């Protein structure tokens, strides 16, 4: 593992450093280690491959060369419920970055809380993890983003896809650059939760239409209903067949 180059060089002074590695166990694990060791956030860590890439719900994130694997390390003082809404910020940034980097229009949708899809096929995912910071009252966050560019894993439980199958070639570093620009700009709008209303509107504009049928796994239960948007805190609203609306704060969409 070698930090190939640290690149604040050609970036604006307030833009975080970007560190590139050929291989890491996981960019998110590395980012968390840096935060725990006292490295000052914010920073971005990119790897060409990961040997122990991590997905949500304890799943493995297969990390072949050619795709984007990146994490950012951050520190905030907002409460955990507000920090959870950073997955919406990251989703908007991923959506915007892919749309800008792709030479042809793609029908991308965000799936709550933080998948990026084309139709029913997963194109990328976001993993937000937090822990109490050594700084009193603050939380350290790692926001890990994986986007399939040149390949996608064959999964039993989900369709997957990659950008090269959908659009003329997109260079990883162009996509990375768009992603960082979008993320930093939406993060300013989010403003530690002060701008959450704008974030929720922007996220909903990039999600499947209201009324789309959804299945949610909550522990060992599965419930069905229709997408009814997000509530003001960023939780999912599910309109059930009996007409009632249920607020979903955790769980997973199937
Ligand atoms: C998901 O399950 O949808 C979230 C996947 C997140 C994968 C990314 S790849 C970069 C970062 N490092 C990891 O180990 N995981 C995240």
Mean pLDDT for each 10-residue chunk of the chain (254 residues)? Answer: 54 78 98 96 98 94 97 96 96 97 92 91 96 96 98 92 93 97 98 97 96 89 93 95 91 78
Distance CA 170, CA 193 (A): 32
Report the DSSP beta bridge partners of residue 239: 226, 245
- Identify the bridge partners of residue 224 per DSSP, sorted by sequence position: 215
Q: What is the pLDDT of residue 254?
A: 80
Is 126's C-beta closer than 6 angstroms to any atom of ligand 1? yes
Q: Are 96 and 88 in contact (CB under 8 A)?
A: no
Indicate the pTM of the whole model: 0.93
Residue 146 CB less than 6 A away from ligand 1: yes
Ligand 1 proximity of 235 Cβ (cutoff 6 Å): no
Q: In this predicted structure, what is the pLDDT of residue 8? A: 46
Reference 128, options 23, 3, 250, 1; nearest CA is 250
For residue 221, the CA-to-ligand 1 centroid distance in Å is 25
pLDDT of residue 4: 60
pLDDT at 2: 61
What pLDDT sits at residue 1? Answer: 61
CA–centroid distance, residue 194 to ligand 1 (Å):
27
Q: What pLDDT shows up at residue 14? A: 66
Answer left, alpha or beta for residue 233, where phi above 0 means left and psi between -120 and 50 means alpha: alpha
């Amino acid at each position: 593992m070698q930090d190939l180059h640290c690149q604040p060089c050609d970036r604006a002074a307030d833009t975080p450093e970007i560190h590139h590695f050929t291989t890491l166990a996981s960019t998110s694990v590395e980012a968390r280690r840096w935060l725990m060791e006292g490295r000052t956030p914010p920073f971005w860590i990119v790897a060409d491959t990961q040997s122990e890439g991590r997905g949500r719900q304890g799943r493995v994130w297969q990390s072949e060369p050619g795709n984007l694997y990146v994490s950012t390390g951050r520190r905030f003082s907002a409460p955990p419920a507000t920090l959870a809404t950073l997955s919406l910020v990251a989703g908007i940034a991923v959506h915007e970055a892919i749309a800008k980097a792709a030479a042809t229009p793609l029908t991308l949708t965000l799936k709550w809380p933080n998948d990026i899809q084309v139709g029913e096929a997963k194109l990328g995912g976001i993993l937000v993890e937090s822990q109490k910071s050594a700084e009193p009252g603050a939380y350290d966050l790692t926001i890990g983003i994986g986007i399939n560019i040149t390949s996608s894993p064959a999964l039993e439980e989900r369709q997957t896809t990659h950008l090269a199958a959908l659009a003329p070639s997109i260079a990883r570093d162009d996509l990375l650059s768009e992603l960082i620009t979008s993320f930093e700009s939406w993060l300013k709008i989010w403003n530690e939760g002060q701008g959450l209303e704008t974030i929720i509107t922007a996220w909903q504009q990039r999600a499947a239409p209201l009324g789309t049928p959804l299945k949610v796994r909550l522990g060992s239960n599965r419930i069905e209903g229709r997408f009814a948007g997000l509530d003001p805190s960023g939780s999912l609203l599910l309109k059930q067949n009996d007409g009632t609306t249920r607020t979903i704060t955790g769980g997973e969409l199937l």
